[in-house]
């Protein structure tokens, strides 16, 4: 009958807070006392101040901006709601996400922001409307929030966007700190809450949500990542006895849930919880981010879950449909030194262009963000240091992340949204500082300079890096359809920001949409391989990745100076496996690849055994 | 003064006079020397004061909002430095107090100052390094190098320095340090790191030899086996890797072999109870329940504004069979923290243990109102309903518990047991089926599933 309710001491990883400037900067003025000082004075032996540590040096101080902050002129006015409270409710410091999606089917990207704290409405429970902005042909955004029907009743966390009923429009699942809600789109961005009948009832603290077809039956299933078993009202202190937000160590982990879409059985918009029967019930964790993809190249979709201060899990799908956690033995559960990290956001891109996607995770202040390079199918090594991504992230707490080729040089760069989860101890408290100022950090941009090597852009004139805010969600997409990738950032208790890409273009590009006409939707899970005479690029269609966010489902490829694409291979996410080739597709424009219209180059019959969950 | 003593104590005569003359010459030289020394000391003192005031400001931190014990400790340590500005220990101890209470920037200044005042001590640069390794690798390495020059064999230091070198991709130097550490007590972590570095060469023979030698010397750790498993995966031997992964779960982590006495000194500077809390936790894990309860009791008295020390103590009292004592403490806690579902649950347990089921059930309902997906509370309600012959209510409560925590095998089994008693065989089979899908290492659970399955009619079988 007894249960444990032990306080766990907080880890010191957040304790390295300090005022502006590096610690080394502040030490330069310190002299050695006593005789040593005299000797130094007498001999006139002054040493030069050592140079700034490499991690603090600006990489590209002189450059044209990469982004322009167009929030105000775009019409985006949404402000996230998170009211500071005496008990420091933990969901406030973890949410909320954002999405770029085409909600009304007009071919233009719209913006969805997950709402934060609900507000009491007259004589009813507290609710919050998730801001939805529809883009018009002039490129402005119109507030559609009041008519969208996207209403939640708990603190909003993440969003998944996908067509769950194969009717050609984008439906939405929004996770909250106490469950998830499913919304069906009528095609004109008016959503109906179908949670009650959708079969996804849960009261858990849900974080990332991903639509993906794990059993490849043509219907999008749903992964909901769960965080901790939270007790609202719990009181936590920092290491000095000051109230602060609780960390994950204060609570136990929970099991992530997998819901199978029953559309194939004729039950539209109904999901069945297959967590236990697929083996996912075997391991609890404190999940925040996820990657749903074939991560070991065996043709089956796997699930990678980024856990907060616990080892990450890589659920490899077995031939019988059961999932088995193999993260430990595949090199992607902990950092190089075997330490579990506070994993938040995820990216799954081929950073070194070796044909195999790699994993990138954002982490807590005091830890490095981590790059797991895939060295052979399904085998990873922590390559953070060699990639130049180690020291630069130590002073930040990373959440939202996306890997996109910002400057079109042919290599995917990294955009990271930062913001602390514990207070920064200031030397001199500023009475005018708001509650959230103590958690604010600037964002980061890392340029991939080739072969998976990164350099940080630290110019203080770069608008993307200018504001120190508590940033969480980060969604990318080409909002103005001009061939480069723009960025939406969600900020806690502040307005969201929209950044338009204005970078100097270093090359060509294509934007690929792969559609299965039978399913009337984007081929989520399709792997696209773009091949030129000298290069190849690999990407996968999975818009729901990063931190609690979804991106433009169209794949954007920067091509560098490549003048011509020879062919594009599409691995359709189906059983049996189906690969089609599309030749000479052209560059610097949209390419729509429809299944069945390319040259079939492989179709293997699959004699898969009966699968778990069916 | 010495001269005068000699004249008075010496015998009269010429020898004495010459002695006085001679001593007078010495007196003059010594006076000069004394004056020079005094002047030098004055200059030194003035310089120390000057530089002490102008350049080496004793760090001052904002104490606003901190716990009074933390404020008092930091203030005390700071004043000690003010009175002893040339004491390395004063500076170092102030640094320790600051480090323990999240003021790393200021702690770093203190450690660097202590290093300057006491160059032979390897501890001060080590502490500085531990702070810097979280933000600036180069600076951290400089401190670790200084520390290593004074103590080249301290294993935690070697490991930390190697860790920074690895993060800087300086693998060769890291390997040298790890080789120095691997054969020393606590070197298991170094062995793992070396194995990780070796994995890049895919030298399976070397890896297997390393594991074998670690096995022989009782230095086998969880991580070492996982490293070997990773190499097996890379060679396509996935089944072997899975077996190694399973075996690794029975082994201690490499960190368990390591102690860091220097860092452990921080507990002398703990004013928030973090260390005591960890110690209590450890005592409980080791079965020293009374000692753990005493520790928690002291923490509860020291920090009355916190609920957890007293709650943890009360649950320990329950474990020890002292339901009355637990109830008394939990009731007091409930009065102070009425919105804490964990306290309500524990109080319900205590009341239940004392036979007051009605009150226990009410408390559990209150806990569920605060946290609707509180599986242990639903499970406890189910058990109360069951013991009071209300099977339908019990089944409903079990269902809630399953919905909240479907991965908890005990709930499935308890529910299946009740369903079997009630003749609801199909539903019981479903619960047993779910239970059998959850992996567990406890053989008694498997036996329980088998026993319950035997109670199913032949027509209803668990897949």
- Rounded Cα–Cα distance for residues A296 and A361 (Å): 18
Of A356, A377, A333, A382, the residue nearest A540 (C-alpha): A356
Break chain B into its structural domains and give their ranges.
25-151, 372-463
> What is the rounded average pLDDT of the residues A544-554?
98
Q: CA of A87: how far to CAs of A236, A246, A441, in Å?
A: 8, 10, 23
pLDDT in tens, B288-315: 999 999 999 999 998 888 888 999 999 9
Which long-range contacts link A180-185 to residues 24+ away (Cβ below 8 Å)?
A180/A206, A180/A209, A180/A224, A181/A152, A182/A269, A182/A271, A183/A149, A183/A150, A184/A269, A185/A103
In this predicted structure, the answer to whether residue A262 has a pLDDT above a threshold of 80 is: yes
Of A428, A426, A400, A424, the residue nearest A414 (C-alpha): A400
Cis? peptide before A576, omega within 30° of 0? yes
Q: CA of A196: how far to CAs of A265, A271, A283, B39, in Å?
A: 19, 11, 27, 89
Q: What are phi and psi of B88, to 5 degrees?
A: -65, -40
Q: CA of A43: how far to CAs of A28, A37, A406, B42, in Å?
A: 20, 10, 54, 19
- Taking an 8 Å cut-off on Cβ atoms, the answer to whether B272 and A427 are in contact is no
- The secondary structure of residue A504, as a DSSP letter, is P
Q: Which chain B residues have a beta carbon less than 8 Å from that of A15?
A: 102, 104, 134
CATH code of B25-151, in short, is 1.25.40.10
Give start and end residues of each alpha helix (H) in B267-356.
274-285, 289-302, 308-319, 323-336, 341-353
Average pLDDT over all residues of chain B: 87
> What is the rounded average pLDDT of the residues B258-284?
89
In this predicted structure, the answer to whether residue A537 has a pLDDT above a threshold of 50 is: yes
List the beta bridge partners of residue A599: A581
**The pLDDT of residue B39:** 66
CA distance A234 to chain B (A): 7
In this predicted structure, the answer to whether residue B391 has a pLDDT above a threshold of 70 is: yes
Q: In what order do the strands lie in the sheet with A358-361?
A: A346-349, A358-361, A370-376, A379-382
Angle subtended by helix axes B323-336 and B341-353, to nearest 10: 150
**Could you give the percent of chain A with pLDDT greater than 70?**
87
Nearest to A275 among B51, B193, B406 (CB): B406
**The pLDDT of residue B275:** 83
Q: Which chain A residues have a beta carbon less than 8 Å from that of B302?
A: none
Q: Checking phi first, is residue A439 left (phi over 0); if not, alpha (psi -120 to 50) or beta?
A: alpha
Distance of CA B278 to the CA centre of its chain: 6
> What is the rounded average pLDDT of the residues A314-327?
95
- Give me B211's structure tokens: 């594991």
> What is the rounded average pLDDT of the residues A113-131?
90
CA distance B458 to chain A (A): 23
Ranges assigned E (strand) in A425-496: 444-448, 454-457, 471-477, 486-491
- Rounded Cα–Cα distance for residues B37 and A181 (Å): 83
Closest Cα in chain A to B53 = A33
In this predicted structure, the answer to whether residue A519 has a pLDDT above a threshold of 90 is: yes
> What is the rounded average pLDDT of the residues B4-25?
40
- Rounded Cα–Cα distance for residues B421 and B455 (Å): 9
- Taking an 8 Å cut-off on Cβ atoms, the answer to whether B244 and A242 are in contact is no
- By the 8 A CB rule, do A96 and A152 touch? no
Least confident of A27-36, B123-132, B181-190, B325-334: A27-36
- Rounded Cα–Cα distance for residues A111 and A136 (Å): 12
Closest Cα in chain B to A387 = B169
**The pLDDT of residue A6:** 30
- Taking an 8 Å cut-off on Cβ atoms, the answer to whether A36 and B116 are in contact is yes
CATH code of B372-463, in short, is 1.25.40.10
Please tell me which residue, B20 or A254, carries the higher pLDDT value.
Answer: A254
CA distance A548 to chain B (A): 23
In this predicted structure, the answer to whether residue B459 has a pLDDT above a threshold of 90 is: no
In this predicted structure, the answer to whether residue A211 has a pLDDT above a threshold of 60 is: yes
In this predicted structure, the answer to whether residue B16 has a pLDDT above a threshold of 70 is: no
CA distance B228 to chain A (A): 8
**The pLDDT of residue A101:** 98
CA distance A602 to chain B (A): 25
Closest Cα in chain B to A385 = B167
**The pLDDT of residue A24:** 39
For residue A510, count CB atoms less than 10 angstroms from its CB and return exposed for 0-12, middle for 13-18, buried for 19 or more. Answer: buried
Q: Residue with structure tokens 């801001």?
A: A131
- What is the pLDDT confidence band of residue A55, given thresholds at 50, 70 and 90? very low
Identical fold between B25-151 and B372-463: yes
- What is the pLDDT confidence band of residue B26, given thresholds at 50, 70 and 90? low
- Taking an 8 Å cut-off on Cβ atoms, the answer to whether A336 and B166 are in contact is yes
In this predicted structure, the answer to whether residue B126 has a pLDDT above a threshold of 70 is: yes
- What is the pLDDT confidence band of residue B42, given thresholds at 50, 70 and 90? low
pLDDT in tens, B405-427: 888 999 999 999 999 999 999 99
Q: Checking phi first, is residue B192 left (phi over 0); if not, alpha (psi -120 to 50) or beta?
A: alpha
List the beta bridge partners of residue A236: A244
- Give me A415's structure tokens: 């955009």
In this predicted structure, the answer to whether residue B404 has a pLDDT above a threshold of 80 is: yes
Q: Which chain A residues have a beta carbon less than 8 Å from that of B439?
A: 279, 282
- Taking an 8 Å cut-off on Cβ atoms, the answer to whether A30 and B48 are in contact is no
- Taking an 8 Å cut-off on Cβ atoms, the answer to whether A276 and B131 are in contact is no
CA distance B165 to chain A (A): 10
Nearest to B134 among A8, A16, A384 (CB): A16
Closest Cα in chain B to A53 = B138
Q: Which chain B residues have a beta carbon less than 8 Å from that of A425?
A: 61-62, 102-103
- Taking an 8 Å cut-off on Cβ atoms, the answer to whether B340 and A233 are in contact is yes
- What is the pLDDT confidence band of residue B444, given thresholds at 50, 70 and 90? confident
- Taking an 8 Å cut-off on Cβ atoms, the answer to whether B100 and A425 are in contact is no
Asked whether this complex has an ipTM greater than 0.90, the answer is: no
Least confident of A496-500, B29-33, B103-107, B347-351: B29-33
Question: Which range scores top for mean pLDDT: A45-54, A573-582, A595-604?
Answer: A573-582
Helix, strand, coil percentages for chain A (3-state, nearest 5)? 10, 35, 55
Average pLDDT over all residues of chain A: 88
**The pLDDT of residue A609:** 54
> What is the rounded average pLDDT of the residues B108-120?
96
CA distance B31 to chain A (A): 23
Least confident of A519-528, A593-602, B27-36, B260-269: B27-36
- pTM passes above 0.80: yes
- Taking an 8 Å cut-off on Cβ atoms, the answer to whether B230 and A240 are in contact is no
- Rounded Cα–Cα distance for residues A453 and B108 (Å): 32
Q: Which chain A residues have a beta carbon less than 8 Å from that of B347?
A: none
**The pLDDT of residue B453:** 93
């Amino acid at each position: 009958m007894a249960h444990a309710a032990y306080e766990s001491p907080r880890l010191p990883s957040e304790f390295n807070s300090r005022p502006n400037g590096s610690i080394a900067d502040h030490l330069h003025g310190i002299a050695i006392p006593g005789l040593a000082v005299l000797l130094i004075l007498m001999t006139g032996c002054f040493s030069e101040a050592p140079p700034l540590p490499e991690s603090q040096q600006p990489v590209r101080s002189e450059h044209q901006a990469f982004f322009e902050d167009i929030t105000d002129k775009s019409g985006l006015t949404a402000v996230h709601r998170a009211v500071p409270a005496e008990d420091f409710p933990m969901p406030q410091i973890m949410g909320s996400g954002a999405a770029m999606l085409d909600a009304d089917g007009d071919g233009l990207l719209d913006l969805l922001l997950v709402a934060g704290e609900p507000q009491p409405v007259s004589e009813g429970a507290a609710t919050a409307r998730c801001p939805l902005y529809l883009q018009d042909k002039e490129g402005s955004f119109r507030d559609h929030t009041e008519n969208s029907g996207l209403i939640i009743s708990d603190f909003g966390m993440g969003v998944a966007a996908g067509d769950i009923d194969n009717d050609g429009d984008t439906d939405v699942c929004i996770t909250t700190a106490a469950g998830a809600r499913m919304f069906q789109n009528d095609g004109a961005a008016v959503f109906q809450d179908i949670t009650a009948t959708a079969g996804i009832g849960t009261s858990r603290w849900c974080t990332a949500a991903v639509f993906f077809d794990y059993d490849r039956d043509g219907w999008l299933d749903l992964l909901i990542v769960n965080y901790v078993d939270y007790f609202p009202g719990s009181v936590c202190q920092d290491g000095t006895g000051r109230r602060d937000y609780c960390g994950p160590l204060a609570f136990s982990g929970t099991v992530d849930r997998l819901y199978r879409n029953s559309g194939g059985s004729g039950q539209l918009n109904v999901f069945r919880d297959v967590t236990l029967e697929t083996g996912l019930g075997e391991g609890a964790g404190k999940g925040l981010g996820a990657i749903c993809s074939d991560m070991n190249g065996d043709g089956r979709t796997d699930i990678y879950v980024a856990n907060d201060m616990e080892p990450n899990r890589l659920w490899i799908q077995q031939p019988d449909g059961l999932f088995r956690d193999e993260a430990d033995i595949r090199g992607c559960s902990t950092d190089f030194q075997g330490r579990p990290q506070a994993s938040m956001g995820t990216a799954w891109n081929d950073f070194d262009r070796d044909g195999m996607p790699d994993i990138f995770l954002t982490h807590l202040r005091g830890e490095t963000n981590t790059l797991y390079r895939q060295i052979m199918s399904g085998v990873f090594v922590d390559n953070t240091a060699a990639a130049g991504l180690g020291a630069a992230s130590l002073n930040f707490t990373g959440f939202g992340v996306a890997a996109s080729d910002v400057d079109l040089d042919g290599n995917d760069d990294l955009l990271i949204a930062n913001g602390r989860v514990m207070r920064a101890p200031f030397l001199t408290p500023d009475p005018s500082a708001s509650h959230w100022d103590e958690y604010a950090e600037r964002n980061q941009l890392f340029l991939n300079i080739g072969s998976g090597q990164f350099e940080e852009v630290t110019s203080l004139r770069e608008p993307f890096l200018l504001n120190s805010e508590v940033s969480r969600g980060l969604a990318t997409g080409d909002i103005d359809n001009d061939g480069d990738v723009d960025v939406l950032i969600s900020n806690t208790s502040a307005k969201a920001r929209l950044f338009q890409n204005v970078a100097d273009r270093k090359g060509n590009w294509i934007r690929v949409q792969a559609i299965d006409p039978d399913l009337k939707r984007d081929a989520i899970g399709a792997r696209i391989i773009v091949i030129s005479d000298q290069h190849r690029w690999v990407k996968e269609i999975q818009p729901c990745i990063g931190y609690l966010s979804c991106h433009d489902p169209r794949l954007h490829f920067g091509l560098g100076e490549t003048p011509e694409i020879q062919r594009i291979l599409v691995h359709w996410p189906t059983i049996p496996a189906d690969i089609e080739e599309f030749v000479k597709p052209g560059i610097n424009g949209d390419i729509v690849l429809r299944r069945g219209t390319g040259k079939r180059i492989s179709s293997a019959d699959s004699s898969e055994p009966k699968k778990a969950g069916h | 003064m010495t001269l005068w003593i000699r004249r008075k104590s010496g015998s009269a005569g010429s020898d004495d006079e010459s002695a006085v003359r001679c001593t007078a010459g010495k007196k003059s030289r010594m006076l000069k020397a004394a004056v020079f020394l005094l002047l030098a000391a004055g200059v030194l003192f003035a310089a120390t004061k000057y530089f002490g005031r102008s350049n080496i400001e004793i760090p001052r931190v904002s104490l606003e909002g901190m716990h009074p014990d933390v404020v008092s400790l930091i203030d005390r340590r700071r004043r000690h430095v003010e009175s002893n500005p040339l004491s390395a220990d004063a500076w170092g101890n102030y640094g320790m107090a600051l480090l323990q209470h999240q003021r790393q920037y200021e702690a770093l200044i203190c450690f660097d100052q202590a290093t300057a005042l006491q160059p032979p001590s390897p501890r001060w640069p080590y502490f500085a390094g531990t702070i810097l390794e979280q933000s600036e690798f180069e600076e951290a390495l400089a401190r670790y190098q200084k520390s290593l020059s004074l103590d080249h064999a301290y294993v935690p230091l070697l490991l930390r320095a190697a860790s920074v070198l690895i993060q800087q991709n300086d693998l060769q130097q890291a390997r040298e340090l790890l080789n120095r550490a691997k054969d020393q007590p606590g070197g298991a972590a170094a062995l793992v790191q070396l194995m990780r570095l070796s994995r890049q060469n895919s030298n399976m023979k070397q890896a297997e030899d390393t594991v074998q030698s670690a096995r022989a010397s009782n230095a086998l750790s969880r991580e070492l086996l996982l490293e070997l498993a990773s190499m097996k995966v890379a060679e396509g031997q996935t089944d072997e890797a899975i077996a190694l992964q399973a075996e690794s779960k029975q082994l201690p982590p490499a960190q368990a072999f390591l102690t860091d006495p220097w860092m452990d000194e921080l507990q002398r500077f703990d004013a928030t109870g973090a260390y005591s809390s960890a110690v209590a936790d450890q005592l409980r894990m080791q079965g020293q329940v009374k000692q753990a309860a005493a520790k928690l009791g002291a923490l509860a008295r020291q920090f009355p504004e916190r609920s957890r020390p007293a709650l943890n103590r009360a649950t320990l009292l329950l474990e020890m069979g002292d339901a009355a004592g637990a109830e008394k403490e939990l009731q007091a806690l409930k009065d102070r923290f009425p919105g804490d579902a964990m306290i309500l649950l524990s109080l319900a347990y205590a009341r239940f243990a004392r036979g007051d089921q009605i009150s226990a059930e009410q408390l559990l309902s209150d806990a569920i109102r605060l946290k609707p997906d509180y599986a242990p509370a639903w499970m406890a309600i189910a058990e109360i309903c069951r013991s009071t012959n209300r099977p339908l209510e019990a089944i409903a409560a079990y269902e809630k518990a399953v919905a909240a925590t479907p991965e908890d095998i005990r709930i499935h089994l308890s529910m299946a047991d009740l369903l079997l008693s009630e003749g609801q065989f199909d539903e019981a089979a479903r619960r047993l089926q779910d239970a059998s899908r959850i992996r567990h290492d406890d053989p008694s659970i498997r036996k329980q599933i088998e026993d319950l399955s035997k109670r199913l009619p032949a027509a209803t079988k668990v897949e």
